[in-house]
């Protein structure tokens, strides 16, 4: 079974540790290995190296190849980031070019799974359904009324469900208010949308043809020259004409075809903020609930995240719930509860002409 | 009138900005100039340059001379720090050697005065009293029940007061509990002890002879060789034999001679912590009550102290009442209310063998 790993993100939520040149998927978020390496390792149970395609920005190709040099996986570099719809389309035609006709798992490079075996098992179940020609999306069983995620509503289709042993998706729902999120949890017919899909290349292309005809035509042009010298030039021309659009918004929410969802209790996290990293790494906390890395000295401190990667001694005294991220040229000190707002810092830096720090 | 500035301190309360090689008196605490420079500038109204003596550790001589190179003041280097009693004794014999017979003002190099003219006026009044052969200490009129300072109790001596227009000291009191400090304020017969004295060289030596005979004998040896080549050697030998002892504890509390106190409302602060620096520099606060220095970016922050002297961007997000001091090789992040406990950090660093950071 093929896997397409989407590694094109360039988020700034882990600034100053993440930079344009080193986005989140290249960070050692888990304390073990960079997320992209962990993602590729995790997929070993589902796909052989020759069946794994990493789609990423060409500016990150060198770094990724260096991190994954022991692996015989494929890389596909996008000349410009255009969000997930072109990325998934490109992954699909490349897999097809490599001989893939069956289901492909598409998943982001920068997520975390506490139960990787459950993920693989659920992807295998999804693949069985996807063979019938539907797109299957993984529905993460929610554990709290989270307002930072999109949701997937499903409905029982009765007899239809024998054809689709997953649930039939009835709606994709944008990030809700807290009140709505609480209702979703209580009702039980909502999952978190993790942006993880399983479908055959044919299904992907059929759905893109229906919903995003410009992208479809571009992909067909690219497919024709795959493996030839013209490839880079054509890919660049096609990408320059495309608008950035997510697969969720551009395809999944627009398609008239049925979509299936397979519930998954795989301990998923999108590790979307320092706060969520802190919670995810609970087993690495010290006795006072601090998560530390590098050369730190904490006195009378509890429940902080302190990282010293700048070669300096970071001394903390009497702190609670504070985030300290020290790097060579910038340091961030934030209330850990505000860590979702790190973006406001990078926006201000950009406005102040400090592109060198982004 | 002579002034002896005591610049031998080596406190660690402003770590990581202050280091052994650069103690508090060499820091630009006010945002205008290093404290030692401000202290020397302030005394211009009382003493000519030729009448000012800075007593300091020999390891800081070069730095001090460099900072004060425009001034024609005298420096006296101590080979080892032995607290204020030897420092005041050495200042007294050096002033005497330079021809001083009248009152000398002895004061620390690292204090702040919101009303410098009041200070000079009170020192002049003290000098008048000191001419009669008593030691006069400045009594700072307390403005709050501070538990971090020692206190001076005075009593009205009736007819004696015509002889000593200052008040007669009845007791020197160690740092009190909050309850006691509150009583002191209410009673009105207590001043803060700022460690500022006025006395003639003869009086100083007479009192040291009575209370600290070993120091007295040492000073006499040193005085004999002052201005000769033997000076450095003898000074070193004498200092090596001395115990460190404060003038307050060793002389003022022990002497049987009367001691006078002149009340002073000179806006004194010993700037003993980052918290007190923050309060002292209220006029430099921004609209949200932050005190910043260097390259900082503060978003949703109020009532913080943020200093960037390490050449890095210091970004703060959603902080309140936090201290951030960034230097080249160390950074301190502390609760501003805990800033008195910075010592615990330096103690731990010492214990961990990180002398390089002290």
Inter-chain residue contact A315 with B349, CB threshold 8 Å = yes
DSSP letter string over A238-307? HHHHPPP--HIIIIITT--S-EEEEEE-S-EE---SHHHHHHHTGGG--TTS-EEEESEEEES-BS-EEE
What whole-number distance in Å separates Cα of residue A188 and Cα of residue A153?
9
Mean pLDDT in residue range B155-176: 74
What whole-number distance in Å separates Cα of residue B112 and Cα of residue B130?
24
A345 touching chain B per CB within 8 A: yes
Give the containing element (helix H, strand E) for A203: helix A201-211
pLDDT in tens, A152-177: 999 876 655 555 456 889 999 999 99
* 3 state DSSP class of B97: helix
Q: CB-based contacts of B288: which residues, under 8 Å, 6+ apart? A: B298, B301, B302, B303
Burial of B30: CB neighbours in 10 Å, binned 0-12, 13-18, 19+? middle
The answer to whether residues A48 and A24 touch, using CB atoms and an 8 Å cutoff, is no
Q: What percentage of chain B has pLDDT greater than the value 90?
A: 89
Residues B28 and B176 both lie in one domain: yes
Give the containing element (helix H, strand E) for B3: strand B2-7
Residues B342 and B201 both lie in one domain: no
Q: CB-based contacts of B30: which residues, under 8 Å, 6+ apart? A: B38, B112, B280, B281
pLDDT at A339 over 90: no
| Helix (DSSP H) and strand (DSSP E) numbers for chain A | 12, 17
Given this model, what pLDDT does residue B31 score?
87
Residues B213 and B248 both lie in one domain: yes
> In angstroms, what is the C-alpha Rg of chain B?
21
Closest CA to B173 of B143, B155, B149: B149
B316 touching chain A per CB within 8 A: yes
The answer to whether residues B193 and B248 touch, using CB atoms and an 8 Å cutoff, is yes
Q: Which long-range contacts (CB under 8 A, 24 or more apart) does A232-236 make?
A: A232/A79, A235/A78, A235/A79, A235/A90, A236/A79
Mean pLDDT in residue range B69-86: 96
* Token representation of residue B290: 């932050």
A352 touching chain B per CB within 8 A: yes
pLDDT at B160 over 60: no
Residues of B in contact with A19 (CB under 8 A): none
Residues of A in contact with B314 (CB under 8 A): 330-331, 333
Inter-chain residue contact B315 with A338, CB threshold 8 Å = no
Domain boundary among A217, A251, A269: A269
Residues B248 and B281 both lie in one domain: no
pLDDT in tens, B136-154: 999 999 999 999 899 999 9
Domain boundary among B236, B269, B302: B269
Residues A299 and A232 both lie in one domain: no
The answer to whether residues A104 and A200 touch, using CB atoms and an 8 Å cutoff, is yes
What whole-number distance in Å separates Cα of residue B332 and Cα of residue B336?
11
Residues A298 and A255 both lie in one domain: no
pLDDT in tens, A250-287: 999 999 999 999 999 999 999 989 998 999 899 999 99
Given this model, what pLDDT does residue B41 score?
97
pLDDT in tens, A297-314: 999 999 999 999 888 999
pLDDT at B13 over 90: no
Residues B145 and B211 both lie in one domain: yes
Domain boundary among A243, A269, A295: A269
Q: What is the ipTM of this complex?
A: 0.87
Burial of B142: CB neighbours in 10 Å, binned 0-12, 13-18, 19+? middle
A103 touching chain B per CB within 8 A: no
Grade residue B158 by pLDDT with cuts at 50, 70 and 90: low
Residues A8 and A74 both lie in one domain: yes
Mean pLDDT in residue range A323-341: 93
Inter-chain residue contact A345 with B315, CB threshold 8 Å = yes
Residues B250 and B346 both lie in one domain: no
B56 touching chain A per CB within 8 A: no
Give the containing element (helix H, strand E) for B199: strand B190-199
Residues A257 and A313 both lie in one domain: no
Residues B264 and B344 both lie in one domain: no
What is the domain-level CATH number for residue A189? Answer: 3.90.550.10
The answer to whether residues A85 and A251 touch, using CB atoms and an 8 Å cutoff, is yes
Residue A311 per-residue DSSP state: S
What whole-number distance in Å separates Cα of residue B322 and Cα of residue B306?
8
B335 touching chain A per CB within 8 A: yes
Expressed as residue numbers, the domain containing B98 is 2-269
Residues A205 and A318 both lie in one domain: no
Inter-chain residue contact B333 with A354, CB threshold 8 Å = no
pLDDT in tens, B262-301: 999 999 999 989 999 999 899 999 999 999 999 999 999 9
For residue B147, the Cα-to-chain-centroid distance in whole angstroms is 18
Residues of A in contact with B310 (CB under 8 A): 312
What whole-number distance in Å separates Cα of residue A158 and Cα of residue B183?
82
What whole-number distance in Å separates Cα of residue A49 and Cα of residue A26?
19
Inter-chain residue contact A345 with B310, CB threshold 8 Å = no
Inter-chain residue contact B330 with A312, CB threshold 8 Å = yes
Closest CA to B247 of B1, B42, B6, B20: B6
Given this model, what pLDDT does residue B310 score?
83
Query: How many domains is chain B partitioned into structurally?
Result: 2
Inter-chain residue contact A312 with B313, CB threshold 8 Å = no
Select from B312, B333, B357 the Cβ nearest to the Cβ of A330: B312
Instruction: Give chain A's mean pLDDT.
Output: 94
- Give the chain B residue whose CA is nearest to the CA of A330: B313
What whole-number distance in Å separates Cα of residue A118 and Cα of residue A140?
11
pLDDT in tens, B213-231: 999 999 999 999 999 999 9
Select from A326, A345, A357 the Cβ nearest to the Cβ of B331: A326
* Token representation of residue A327: 């790097």
What whole-number distance in Å separates Cα of residue B302 and Cα of residue B316?
10
Q: To 10 degrees, what angle do helices A201-211 and A213-225 make?
A: 140
């Amino acid at each position: 079974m093929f896997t397409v790993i989407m590694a094109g993100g360039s988020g700034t939520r882990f600034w100053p540790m993440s930079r344009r040149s080193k986005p989140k998927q290249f960070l050692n978020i888990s304390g073990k290995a960079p997320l992209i390496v962990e993602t590729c390792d995790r997929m070993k149970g589902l796909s052989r190296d020759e069946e794994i395609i990493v789609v990423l920005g060409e500016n990150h190709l060198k770094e990724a190849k260096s991190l994954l040099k022991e692996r015989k996986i494929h890389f596909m570099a996008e000349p410009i980031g255009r969000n997930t719809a072109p990325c998934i389309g490109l992954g699909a035609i490349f897999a097809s070019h490599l001989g893939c006709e069956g289901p492909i798992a598409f998943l982001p490079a920068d997520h975390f799974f506490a139960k990787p075996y459950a993920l693989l098992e659920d992807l295998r179940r999804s693949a069985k359904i996807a063979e019938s020609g539907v797109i299957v999306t993984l529905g993460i069983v929610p554990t709290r009324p989270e307002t930072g995620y999109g949701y997937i509503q499903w409905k029982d289709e009765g007899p239809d469900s024998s054809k689709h042993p997953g649930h039939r998706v009835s709606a994709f729902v944008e990030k809700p208010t807290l009140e709505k999120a609480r209702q979703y949890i209580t009702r039980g017919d909502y999952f978190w949308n993790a942006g993880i899909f399983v479908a055959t290349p044919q299904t992907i292309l059929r759905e893109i043809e229906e919903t995003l005809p410009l992208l479809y035509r571009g992909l067909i042009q690219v497919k024709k020259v795959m493996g030839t010298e013209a490839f880079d030039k054509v890919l660049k021309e096609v990408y320059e004409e495309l608008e950035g659009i997510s697969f969720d918004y551009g395809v999944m929410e627009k398609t008239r075809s049925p979509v299936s969802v397979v519930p998954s209790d795989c301990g998923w996290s999108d590790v979307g903020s320092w706060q969520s990293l802190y919670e995810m790494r609970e087993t690495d906390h010290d006795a006072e609930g601090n998560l530390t890395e590098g050369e730190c000295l904490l006195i009378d401190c509890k429940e902080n995240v302190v990282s010293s990667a700048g070669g300096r001694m970071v001394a903390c005294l009497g702190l609670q719930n504070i985030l300290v991220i020290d790097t060579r040229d910038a340091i961030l000190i934030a209330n850990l509860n505000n860590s979702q707002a790190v973006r406001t810092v990078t926006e201000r830096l950009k406005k102040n002409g400090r592109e060198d720090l982004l």
